């Protein structure tokens, strides 16, 4: 039913779909006039999830991240549905 694809494939497709939708929503918000604040918040309003700072030190190797963040908005889910629709053709 799912065309015998691996789980990693589905996670990657979901990630790129959500990224595409978020970028599309941000682009629409930039193009809207300043007076339409409700539409701007609809397209660009987002939930942000972040983790940080993360790091470890193994004497020989040290690694640190200041922050890992995800930004999702309503258009992220529209992008997810769009990529799912495109998948039907490929």
Domain residue spans of the chain: 7-87
Q: In which element (H, E) is residue 27 found?
A: helix 7-31
pLDDT tens-place string over residues 1-23: 556 778 888 888 888 888 888 88
pLDDT tens-place string over residues 14-53: 888 888 888 888 888 888 888 888 888 888 777 777 777 7
In angstroms, the CA 17 to CA 87 distance is 11
Instruction: State the CB neighbour count (10 A cutoff) for residue 70.
Output: 15
Return phi, psi of residue 60, to 5°. Answer: -85, -35
pTM here is 0.65
Angle (CA) 16-7-87 rounded to 5° is 50
């Amino acid at each position: 039913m799912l065309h015998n694809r691996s789980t990693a494939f589905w996670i990657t497709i979901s990630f790129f779909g959500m990224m595409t939708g978020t970028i599309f929503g941000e682009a629409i918000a930039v193009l809207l006039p300043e007076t339409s604040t409700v539409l701007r918040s609809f397209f660009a309003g987002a939930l942000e999830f972040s983790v940080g700072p993360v790091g470890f030190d193994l004497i020989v190797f040290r690694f640190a991240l200041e922050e890992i963040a995800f930004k999702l908005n309503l258009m992220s889910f529209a992008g997810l549905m769009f990529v799912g629709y495109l998948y039907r053709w490929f």
